[in-house]
Amino acid sequence: MKDLHDAGQILKEAKDAGCYLDAFLFLSNEAAYALKQTIPADWDPSKLATEVYDSAKATADYFSSLGLTIDVYEIGNEIEFGMLGHVVPSGSDINPEGWLEENYWSYQVPLINAAIQGLRDSGSTAKIGLHIAGLGYSQNNDIARRFFSYMNESKVQYDIAELSYPYMFGESEPVKQPYFLEPEFYQTLDYLKNTLKKEVLIAEFSYPAHSEGINKTPSDSYPYSEVGQRDFIEEFLRVAQSYADGAFYFYPDYYPNCNYTSGGDDQLESSGLFLDQTTPNQSMVNFNYASD
């Protein structure tokens, strides 16, 4: 309940600042992403649809009790590899057409539908987003296209296709940079928007201003510096706005040596948009201008 209370306070502050409210349901008692999708310890694994429904409805009821009108609810986070404990084993070949559909996405559809029903029964009219890791890891983003096509074919009542942009850190294979200028990037967004008729959001993107914790080689056009980060963001948003309906920066509030977690997050600190807790860097100063 503490986490829900904290989320409510943050959303209230955002509302007071005139922000658009996008809340996502981890469907877990801890941060869930890509292959990390754990079932809350107090949930009955044999009644997951009921647990998901109850959790979604209770969350929406709580936010409503605070006078908050949520604009978008995301169901899960980076869920094309599975959710709620049913995830693709490491090293699996996920590319054959039909394999993810049969073994994972068919399992997820009733759970996603249960969450949506819980939100609707709470009275929420928020748009529904489905967020996948999405971009840069399958040929021509085939898996991203297949995921949302499958959800369409399964009659899932979602409004927004949401994707994460490839990061310059982590274990994934590097993609050609700047990836946002590659045809497979913008053609995928165009497919989701104009063929599947969905709104499209880049739900996560970032670019480093520093090299600490970063293990991928930058584009010559965008070195790891404040200027390089600023130029990347401005050009990325210019391209994204031609094909998508919006983009969210991933952890802009980080800054070098902020030590928000006990283990440290060098890669997130290097990609933040602040010099210290209260001083924005060049990228943050220009961010609103680039977003207009």
Lowest mean pLDDT among 48-52, 125-129, 288-292: 288-292
Burial annotation 180-194 (CB, 10 A radius, 16+ → b, else e): bebebbbebbebbbe
Give yes or no for residue 18 having a pLDDT over 70: yes
Mean pLDDT of the chain: 94
| Longest Cα separation, the chain | 52
Distance between CA atoms of residues 23 and 243, nearest Å = 23
Question: How confident is the model over 73-89, as pLDDT tens digits?
Answer: 999 999 999 999 999 99
CATH architecture assignment, domain 2-291: Alpha-Beta Barrel (3.20)
Mean pLDDT of 50-72: 97
Q: pTM for the full model?
A: 0.94
pLDDT of 264 strictly over 90: no
| Residue 129, helix vs strand vs coil | strand
For the stretch 174-211, pLDDT in tens is: 999 899 999 999 999 999 999 999 999 999 999 999 99
Cβ proximity of 232 and 171 under 8 Å: no
Q: Kindly state the tokens that stand for 251.
A: 């952890």
pLDDT, mean of residues 86-103: 95
CA atoms within 13 A on the CB side of 176: 7
So where are the chain's domains? 2-291
Helix (H) or strand (E) holding 24: strand 22-25
